Amino acid sequence: MELRTLGYFVAVAETGSVSAAADVVHVTQPAISRQLRQLETELGVDLFSRSAGRLRLSAAGREFLPHAQDVLRRADGARAAARSSAAGRLERLTIAAPTTTLTDVIAPFLATLGADDPMPTVFESDPHEAYASLRHGADLAIVTEPPRPPLASAPIAVLPVWAYVPAGHPWGSASTVRLKALVDETLLVLTPGFRPRQILDLAIDRAGLGPATVVECSNPQVAQALAAAGRGVAVVTDDPRFDLHGLEVIGRDGPLRIELFAAWEPEHHAASTLEAFTGRLRDFCVERYGAEVAPV
């Protein structure tokens, strides 16, 4: 069954006659009639009722028509996708990102996209799954450590690690907190697989400080909710919620920071488009959070 033959069938069904269809598809009437007969023979059903030189869709033809139309639409979509790929364009863009980055960076950025930008699809990725996602359909992965070759990559932002306390806390008017003071508090932290927790643990180890009392949370918003309830200090990187006050954490080597990078396959057909998209995302972060988050 050829797409061309399906196109002839749909043209006749939609225009109501072979002569009208011939004008639409620019093929002679005998050629269309011959192709329709071959299609009916292949399917084993009569698609039209023929009477006095007129064609009417049979019951089988009416049932077959939407399927033929769907096949032709899908074929048109495949051709368009192939043309876009050949031109290095993206019709759709799939992004894999950690929870916090997805909520506080990616989603607000997507709200700024224009009608000419690709349709985005975003899914949450575990830090250990980010690179695998590129092998399974993602165009762009947002990660918190410099990607290793052969992946192509670009930095997006350098964001603070925050210590969040509720209103009325003794640190409520401060802008920073020393790590030495922080470890004396009950810390509401993410599980060890998350980069913010790793940054905190490494800073504590480098400073030679004793182990802190921690309550592990699988989600940064839960950590903030517990901080708002007075259960401790949330140490996370996401934007403030529940009217919490954020303090930058100062370790032995300076403020604790988390870096964001975009990674993609260098042989991706739209690699230049992905690089440009990453540049726009970097500019958005600077506009949203200030020039201090720009990568060096």
Check which CATH number belongs to the domain holding 210 and give it.
3.40.190.10
Taking only the tens place, the pLDDT of each residue in 240-262 is 999 999 999 999 999 999 999 99
Give pLDDT tens digits for 2-18: 888 898 888 988 888 88
Same domain as 74, residue 98: no
Let me know whether 104 and 76 are in one domain.
Answer: no
What pLDDT does residue 51 have? 76
Together in a domain, 96 and 243: no
- Rounded Cα distance between 223 and 8, Å, is 62
Top mean-pLDDT range of 16-30, 84-98, 194-208: 194-208
217 in the same domain as 144: no
31 and 114 fall within a common domain: no
**What letter represents residue 271's amino acid?**
A
- In this structure, are 133 and 273 located in the same domain? yes
Domain identity same for 170 and 246: yes
**Same domain for 275 and 150:** yes
Domain match, 265 and 209 both: no
3-state DSSP of the chain: CCHHHHHHHHHHHHHCCHHHHHHHHCCCHHHHHHHHHHHHHHHCCCCEEEECCEEEECHHHHHHHHHHHHHHHHHHHHHHHHHHHHCCCCCEEEEEECHHHHHHHHHHHHCCCCCCCCEEEEEECCCCCHHHHHHCCCCEEEECCCCCCCCEEEEEEEEECEEEECCCCCCCCCCEEEHHHHCCCEEEEECCCCHHHHHHHHHHHHCCCCCCEEEEECCHHHHHHHHHCCCCEEEECCCCCCCCEEEEEEECCEECEEEEEEEECCCCCCHHHHHHHHHHHHHHHHHHHCHHHCCC
pTM for the whole thing?
0.69
- Establish whether the linkage from the previous residue to 150 is cis, with ω within 30° of 0: yes
Final residue of a structural domain among 59, 86, 113: 86
Are residues 101 and 65 both part of a single domain? no
Same domain, 251 and 265: no
Count of structural domains within the chain: 3
Same domain, residue pair 11 and 72: yes
How many CB atoms are closer than 10 A to CB 128?
Answer: 8
For residue 186, the enclosing domain spans 162-255
Q: What is the structure's pLDDT at 132?
A: 83
